[in-house]
Amino acid sequence: MNTLLWAPSAWLPQGWAADVRIEVDALGMIASVQAQASADGAERLDGPAIPGMSNVHSHAFQRAMAGLTGTSGPQADHFWSWRACMYRFLERLTPDDIEVIATQLYIEMLQAGYTSVGEFHYLHHDADGAPYADPAETSRRIVQAAAASGIGLTLMPVLYRHGGFGGEEPAEAQRRFICDPDQYARIAQAVAGLERCTLGFAPHSLRAVTPEELNGLLKLRAQLAPTAPVHIHAAEQLGEVDDCVFWSGLRPVEWLMWNAPLDEHWCLVHATQMRELEAAALASRGAVVGLCPSTEADLGDGLFNAEPYRLAGGRIGIGGDSHVGVDPFAELRLFEYGQRLQRRRRNLFASAPQQSVGAALYRAALAGGAQALGQPVGAIAVGRRADLVVLDTRDPALIEQSGDRLFDAAIFGPTRHPVRQVMVSGRWCVREGVHAGAERSIAAYRAVLRRLLV
């Protein structure tokens, strides 16, 4: 039986409309959308409706690390010292822990307005580096966490083979990540057979896979899911760029442009250290850059070279990565503010006079996120999944705001609780700002942290 919803206003592909009636079919897909329609027989929404946001890049287990790396070390702190802390933390994680942490994270995402997530999942083996009896044990735990929370999932098992460019031997601390091609194929094949998730492929980075191994992964993709998303870390750190040039004579994005079949199915995560010509060339391929502003700021990565990329028509999505922040509006604010600080100008993401920067940012991240995750999301439109966020106009920052000013207020204003209701695939996950499973999840999460943080 179809479900009928009625919103006093809704942000449709053509812009804001009033009195919008939305029909959702039994599979959770939008069957019809009608503006200036009657509310008779429909469930009335408690505020303006916008499409839910995609989080294109997640390492769920790192949610439990937030706050653990804020103490300065004896030497300069940077990405590589943070990574050493991460390795120590994950030594104690069990599959049960991974599921509990991921469930808590996904509930937090939903309450913040994310309705789908791309899980870049590389924690495959036990604490000794040995495969579990089921090679996809931890991948299944991620799927179970997504099902428990209700979030839409693209699961990307990660191929992680080496500790550095040119096939360098991995470090002992990386033993839980390392897969040979046969192990990786078994994990990907298992994930391909699972319900409630979309399969993606993730060569970790050019430092972690050789060209031959990257080609092998792409051949496996061609067999299992030829149009599946492909995500890869690229050009996040200056040290990574220098090492890539030493190895190949090319910068990471340059190498991928020359040696990989980059197209609209690819997402390059971070791409922080990208020159203007690289940015324009990447934009021409139709790939998405997965930006993670709060994590990139936390790690001291630097600022994405957005202006030439945007002017060339480049596509972006936003992600949480290590989840020091779980808020799509805050990620977009930090992205725009970083560009303002770099360029010493305001409202940089606007492409026309009198355009709402907040709405332009949100629209770009919606489109790029849907593309990067390979999910039918990102718009309140026929044929898209019924992933809706109802804004809470009781939040002081949103009071008396309407139309595109809602986006400007939610992104650039002092909002605390801008989200009132969240629907994924036609099912309510969040009402009055709270997920139905939040209390149970936080109790389990507390117990995990109590053991891990002793």
What b/e readout covers 242-263, taking b as 16+ CB neighbours within 10 angstroms?
ebbeebbebbbbbbbbeebebe
Which are the catalytic amino acids?
Answer: 270, 321
- Listed in sequence order, the residues at least 6 apart from 412 whose beta carbon sits closer than 8 Å to its beta carbon are 333, 336, 357, 358
How many degrees, rounded to 5, is the angle at CA 361 between CA 279 and CA 6? 145
Q: How many residues does the chain have?
A: 454
- Listed in sequence order, the residues at least 6 apart from 171 whose beta carbon sits closer than 8 Å to its beta carbon are 87, 163
**SS3 (DSSP) at 87:** helix
Q: Contact at 8 Å (CB) between 110 and 429? A: yes
Instruction: Specify the DSSP class assigned to residue 62.
Output: G
Cα Rg of the chain, angstroms: 21
Nearest to 252 by CA among 215, 214, 208, 205: 205
Whose tokens are 């690229």? That residue is 234
The whole-angstrom separation of Cα 389 and Cα 375 is 17
Task: Determine whether 369 is exposed, middle or buried from the number of CB atoms within 10 Å of its CB (0-12, 13-18, 19+).
Answer: buried
Q: What's at 261, amino acid-wise?
A: P
